[in-house]
Structures are given as structure tokens and as C-alpha cells.
Amino acid sequence: MRKKIAAGNWKMNKNYGEAIELASSITNAQVPEDVTVILGVPYIYLKEINEIAKANPNVFVSAQNVHQKENGAYTGEISAPMLKSIDVPYVIIGHSERREYNCETPEILKEKVRIALDNGLDVIFCCGEPLEIRKKNEHESYVKDQIEKSLAGLGDEDMKRITVAYEPIWAIGTGETASPAQAQAMHKAIRDYLKELFGEKIAEETAILYGGSVKPSNAVEIFGQEDVDGGLVGGASMKTDSFLDIIKSF
């Protein structure tokens, strides 16, 4: 049985008071026992919100990024050992915004995945195609290439700590819409490719999340697809009521 996961990515949002209030509201709510809730919060709130989340066995925090080196002269960066030292359980790696705005290559992401796993962090690995790739009908090969270049070579124990998040970049803020059927098709293609790389058992056990503008109005239908195991949620995760509605949509 794969995990059901509702992960929220707050990105660069929320001041301190707002962040604590939101995290407390989610943690204190009635969360279904079979759903794992992950709060992807800005670095400066991680330690405190991690302590808040411990009050609910189904709620966890995630860093939104990590540097690929253990330490060194990398001003402004945060290392995996730093995250480990404050008991952070998850880290998001390879988000489309990091790939685009920070020029993160598959090779860099491969290093990040390795160092995160070596320091006991579970990884939410993001992949997905932009609009021009989707229009050329090259989306499956594009995403497979992202996965191959950053995850191929990992062992079975490593893969047990990987969650894949599929981001249809073409359907986020473009006016285009991704249907539940399109989400399922890509999730199945990703799972089939994981079978090629790691075998059927690992592929069937790996949770694959949908990261294409999940909201309460579409979560039930999207999460009902066979190969969709939850969502990596942006805007709707930053409001208590809407995120709780999504959490309860499985």
C-alpha cells in the first residue's frame, strides 16, 4: 500500500506570525490517519514548525531545497547536515522554479539527492515539462530523462525514501488546464519508467504526487486516479480551510 500524501509548498510566503498560525492550525486539525501531511516551509521557520508538527503523528515538515555540498564557502546556502541537526525529515529537490530560476541541472540534483539521503532526509523529487515540450508531444521522454539523470543508480533502500512529484509546468499559470486523465497518464508513464530502472516492487511502492494547481474543487477527482498518490500543493496549501479540504479528499 502506497502512502497517501498531501504536501504543501509555501515557497517564499508567510511572515513569522502567519507561518506559526498556519502550521498550528493544520497540526491541531483532525487529519485522516492514513494521510501523511507535509509542510514545505521557509528555512527560518523549520525548527519551530518542526516542533509544532510533532504534536500530530501525521504531520511533518520539509525544507524547500538543500545545497549539494556538506559545508563550505557557499554564502546563503543550507546544507543537509544542518537540516539533519534540527531533525528535519523531508526536503524538496528539483522543483521547477529551482530548475528555472537557479539553473539547477540534473547533475546538481543528483548530488543533492545523494547528500540528502546520506544525511537521513527523505526526498520529494520534482520533475515535469514546460508548455513547449508538451505541445511537441515530447513530455514523457523529457520527464524520463529528468528521472534517469538524477535518480538512476540509487539502491532499493534509497528509493524507499524517495517520493516523486510530477509538475505539469505547462498547466501552472499559463491558462492551460491539465485534466485528471492527463495527470493519470503521466503518473502511469513515470511509474512504468521506475519499473524499468528499479523493478516492479519499488515502482509500486513509490508514491507519485501531482503538482499541477491542486485545489479543493479538483482534488477528489485527481487523487482518485490509479497512479496518483497525492499532491504537492502550492497556493491552496497556504490557507487552513482549503488545505484541510485537500487533505480529506482521498
Q: How far apart are CA 131 and CA 138, in angstroms?
A: 10
- CA 221, 222, 226, 230 dihedral sign is negative
Q: Examine the residue annotation and report whether 67 is marked as an active-site residue of this protein.
A: no
Q: How far apart are CA 46 and CA 129, in angstroms?
A: 29
- Active site residue: 67, 95, 139, 187, which one? 95
Phi then psi for 57, rounded to 5 degrees? -65, -10
Three-state secondary-structure class, residue 150: helix
Question: How crowded is residue 237: how many other Cβ atoms within 10 Å of its Cβ?
Answer: 28
Instruction: Identify whether the C-beta of residue 230 lies closer than 8 Å to the C-beta of residue 5.
Output: yes
The single-letter code of the amino acid at 40 is G
C-alpha torsion angle, residues 79, 81, 82, 84 (rounded to 10): 130
- Active site residue: 97, 104, 129, 167, which one? 167
Q: Examine the residue annotation and report whether 167 is marked as an active-site residue of this protein.
A: yes
- Active-site positions read 95, 167
